[in-house]
């Protein structure tokens, strides 16, 4: 099934540690509750969300209720969970999920970027991607990494390869564009000295720049 990677929020792009979507553990039902607390926390630009995606890997702050501490809660930082967003058979949007299309873009229109809003959507504990941090049945948090920052770095480390790849492919596209422009500028002729053949536009300083 097609899925999507739902990290970016309307108000939080580069600053992933500032994400506001929450995944709150409910010890009564053994579920996580995924919620969008405000408009700025709507997941934005999410590829595959607008039309095709059945599931989303949602990055959200993991909130754990503190037992015996007067009803408080602890913010364990950003974690990823799998959230179903459309019915597998009918493809209709599931209850509690709101999806909008980001609309026409100046490029990459083959990708259906969309916006996702979660209204207290419940997911089972198994949907937490728990490689770097887990929650026990009684709501206790465990991790092989000692701090929020270390867990965050490990979680986002997977993106580094993609970022390098994106910069690399941009350079590739730019090289092709420059090659096409230089070849065209060599063949295309406009103006020239009086009573003589027109000259290649590549001879003009403004075109070279
Ligand atoms: C076509 C497209 C597809 C996308 N698909 C997805 C997707 O599938 N899933 C997903 O989660 N996200 C997706 N994104 C979102 C993408 O990851 C974000 O756009 C990106 O993280 C940047 O966030 P932003 O757009 O909010 O820019 P901002 O974070 O607001 O940055 C704006 C500008 O400020 C600069 N800037 C920000 N902080 C600093 C700083 N500390 N120092 C110096 N400069 C800084 C940035 O470099 C940038 O030039 C997509 C975006 C696009 C355009």
Would you give the DSSP letter of residue 66?
P
Could you tell me what percent of the chain has a pLDDT over 70? Answer: 99
Helix or strand holding residue 183 (H, E):
helix 148-187
pLDDT digits (tens, 9 = 90+) for 177-201: 999 999 999 999 999 999 999 999 9
**What are the pocket residues of ligand 1 if the criterion is a CB atom closer than 6 Å to any ligand atom?**
5-8, 13-14, 45-47, 108, 113
- Ligand 1 centroid–CA 13 distance in Å is 5
Atom of ligand 1 nearest to the CA of 43: 11
Q: In this structure, are residues 32 and 125 in contact, taking their beta carbons and an 8 Å threshold?
A: yes
- Ligand 1 centroid–CA 113 distance in Å is 14
pLDDT digits (tens, 9 = 90+) for 106-141: 988 999 999 999 999 999 999 999 999 999 999 999
Length of the chain: 209
Which of left, alpha, beta for 68 (phi over 0: left; psi -120 to 50: alpha)? left
ipTM (interface predicted TM): 0.97
Atom of ligand 1 nearest to the CA of 49: 8
C-beta neighbour count of 108 within 10 angstroms:
8
What are 179's two structure tokens?
Answer: 């090659």
Q: Are strands 43-46 and 55-65 parallel, antiparallel or unpaired?
A: unpaired
Nearest residue CA, atom 44 of ligand 1?
14
- Ligand 1 centroid–CA 205 distance in Å is 36
pLDDT digits (tens, 9 = 90+) for 96-109: 999 999 999 998 89
Interacting residues of 16 by C-beta distance below 8 A, sequence separation 6+:
7, 8, 59, 78, 152, 156
pLDDT digits (tens, 9 = 90+) for 63-91: 999 876 677 999 999 999 999 999 999 99
Nearest residue CA, atom 34 of ligand 1?
14
CATH of 3-144, one of 2.40.110.10, 1.20.120.330, 2.60.120.10, 1.10.1760.20: 2.40.110.10
Provide φ and ψ at 118, rounded to 5°. -115, 125
Atom of ligand 1 nearest to the CA of 107: 1
Look at residues 98, 58, 96 and name the one whose alpha carbon lies nearest to residue 78.
58
Rg from Cα positions in the chain: 25
Q: In this structure, are residues 185 and 209 in contact, taking their beta carbons and an 8 Å threshold?
A: no
Distance, CA of 53 to CA of 5 (rounded, Å): 10
- Split at pLDDT 50, 70, 90, the class of 159 is confident
Q: Where do the structural domains in the chain lie, given as residue ranges?
A: 3-144, 163-208
């Amino acid at each position: 099934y097609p899925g999507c990677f739902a990290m970016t929020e309307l108000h939080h792009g580069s600053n992933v540690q500032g994400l506001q979507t929450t995944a709150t553990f409910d010890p009564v039902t053994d579920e996580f509750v995924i919620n969008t607390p405000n408009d700025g926390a709507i997941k934005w630009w999410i590829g595959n969300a607008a039309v095709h995606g059945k599931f989303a890997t949602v990055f959200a702050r993991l909130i754990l209720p503190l037992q015996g501490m007067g009803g408080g809660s602890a913010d364990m930082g950003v974690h990823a969970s799998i959230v179903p967003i459309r019915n597998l058979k009918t493809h209709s949007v599931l209850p509690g999920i709101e999806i909008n299309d980001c609309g026409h873009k100046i490029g990459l229109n083959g990708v259906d970027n969309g916006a996702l809003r979660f209204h207290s959507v419940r997911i089972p504990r198994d949907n937490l991607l728990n490689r770097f941090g887990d929650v026990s049945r009684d709501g206790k948090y465990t991790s092989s990494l000692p701090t929020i920052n270390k867990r965050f770095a490990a979680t986002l480390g997977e993106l580094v390869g993609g970022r390098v790849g994106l910069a690399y492919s941009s350079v590739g596209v730019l090289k092709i564009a420059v090659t096409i422009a230089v070849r065209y500028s060599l063949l295309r002729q406009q103006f020239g000295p009086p009573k003589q053949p027109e000259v290649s536009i590549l001879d003009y300083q403004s075109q070279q720049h």
